Chain A
Amino acid sequence: MSHVLCNVFHKRAITLLEEKFRALIITNNEIIRDKYTVARPKLRNPTWFTKKHRSLEPNFLTHENREFLSEIIQDRYNHIRPESVINTNIEWNPKLKRSGLIGRKIGVYPLWLKNGRKIATTLIQVLDNHVIKYIPPEEHNPPRKRVKQIINKKGCLLIGAEAADPSLFTKEYCGLFKNSGVIPKKILGRFLISPEGILPPGTLLNAMHFPVGHYVDVRGRTIDRGFQGVMKRHGFKGMPASHGVTKTHRRGGNIGGGGEKGRVWPGTKMPGHMGNRFRIAKGLKIWRINTKYNVLWVSGQAIPGDCNSVVYIYDSCLPTRKPKEPIPFPTYLLEDELPEDIYDKELHCFDEPSIIFDGST
């Protein structure tokens, strides 16, 4: 008897407990209590990660031998050509996703518009981007999974830039480039693309991939500023310099109240490490392209990263700045001679006569 009662009691207790837990779960959902609101930079190694550089031992090569080796490298990698032909017959639609490019931020200088307005532009040099590998959507298995269900799964295109001496790298790293026939590159980047826009390994991408007047997002690693105070890191005002203020001129001040909220709330702006994170500057217009040096003039002067640092350029994801007119879909293929500089129609070229305002304008 007692045994049976015990069972009943148990069942009741469990149901009660369940209800209580449910209630707790709901309340827990209401309180957002996360340790970090801003994602910490973690070391997430890409799928193709291998050891890149090998330890360089002094190899006592003669001058002739060194020349011979460089000749071999030139013979082997001089004539890179894509294995198969690029399919250019696909009709572009706004849902298709293209590959991006790897570039180098090389400086900032002003340009002027035809209405006399001055704009600051950042120069991005598109490096020697070669397609190295394409991973189809079924095989692509990134280490970082944010969304559970992906409807239109994208393929992964591996692109390398900045050719280097293969003897600097390890055998495994050089093995990444083996099937493409491309000379090993210093910089690698992965771009998610629609499976329709597949590019064969060995294809060279150039700056004309992005037409003038097109909007791009630029991703780069911000300048590492180290451990910074609250004034530099979050733009706080600090405290007065005088009027009896002692020992607190650049400090943040109060960080919260007492009582129920008697703790440091998550996301409170405090001193800490600043910079050295990947950030994206979105919706930047391309004003001008130099086809000789593969340079893009992109609006703005606050593109993440130092001068001469590597940046990744994508088609803009902003809804109002997404491309509406057809763009060169898998990529732009160099066929005929291009002018050295291509300007936006709003832009004033430096070899045009001075701007004169008529009475009408």
Chain B
Amino acid sequence: MYQTTRCVFKSKLNLKNVFRVCSTAAETATTTKEQERITSEGIRKKFTEYRYIYPEFLPSPEIKFRNAIREKLERKDMVARRTQIAIPEFYVGSILSVLTSDLHSPGKTEKFVGICIKREGCGLRAKFILRNVIDHEGVEVLYEMYDPTIQKIEVLRLEKRLDDELLYLRDALPEYSTFDVNMEAELLTEGAPVPINPIKIKLKPRPWLERWERKNLQGVEEINVPQHLWDRAAKSAKPWEKYDLMKTYMNTIPEEEQIEIFDEVKTQLQKLEITRKKMKRKRTFVKPTKLA
């Protein structure tokens, strides 16, 4: 859904660029206005990127659950929590390590490293699932993003995958969801786009937990199922849904509203971002890695 909206927005931008090219040829005097427009557009573009960085700040688009005051209070609480803990930018497919306080573990803390296979919920209910294979057994942990028992969330490898959900890793060979527990964080240059990992994984033979042949998965090698299942998949497919503008509208928050929402929290979020960057720089200088 987001992808489709993003595509639409991109095409709009392109159109605008084309117009701008035409107009600059005709009139060169109004450069200041142009610049203003460009900067405002830049800000706008940044906000539109916020919906991928902070997707949980957008409320549920279900109309019957919406209330402006509740959403405002929820956002306030979220920002308040973010002042205490750095919740970094991450996507489905990124590898995270989460440190939580656990009453029942011997050291009273527990660390888990794994790949994010799902990210869902909005507001204070935002959650994500981490998956890893530990001692030849698949382990998944669901974390609530704003749970105060979480002490630290660290992104070890920031990347995206070809799909919005990686739940098919449950039916894939274990090597695809095995990650080193003592993995070190890989640094990305600042301002660089988030890399997309084009890896295609191999599924185990059936039986599966879900009918993966129906999901139009991009990050999976060719799926071997009998022809009658493909036929059934074709029968149940709804290829017209991506053209259903009304459905997209009902399932997304309009862009104007998104700008309004991020306008409210942007100063606080930017401040938090800057402090986090400072801390990051400090840490890299203070703690050099030991070689040999």
Contacts and interface: CB of A to CB of B under 8 A. Distances in A.
Contacts of B77: 350
Interface string A293-309: 10100000000001110
B279 interface: no
A355 B149 contact: yes
Interface string B131-152: 0000000000000101111110
Interface in B90-145: 101-103, 108, 123-125, 144
A138 interface: no
A103 to B, nearest CB: 12
Instruction: Give the interface size class of chain A.
Output: 20 to 34
B281 interface: no
A353 B125 CA distance: 19
B151 A356 contact: yes
A123 interface: yes
Contact of B108 (A110, A307, A349, A357): A357
Contact of B144 (A118, A353, A354): A118
Most chain-B Cβ atoms within 10 A of its Cβ — which of A125, A354, A357?
A354
A311 to B, nearest CB: 13
A124 to B, nearest CB: 10
A295 B108 contact: no
A348 B73 contact: no
A110 B149 CA distance: 14
B73 A350 contact: no
A355 B70 contact: no
Contacts of A308: 64, 67
A361 interface: yes
Interface stretch (B43-51, B80-88, B212-220): B80-88
B22 interface: no
B69 A125 contact: yes
Contacts of B164: none
Nearest to A307: B65
Interface of A: 106-107, 109-110, 112, 116, 118, 123, 125, 290, 293, 295, 306-308, 348-359, 361
Which 6 A-B pairs have CB atoms at the shortest separation, nearest pair first? A107-B70, A350-B80, A351-B80, A106-B67, A350-B81, A106-B70
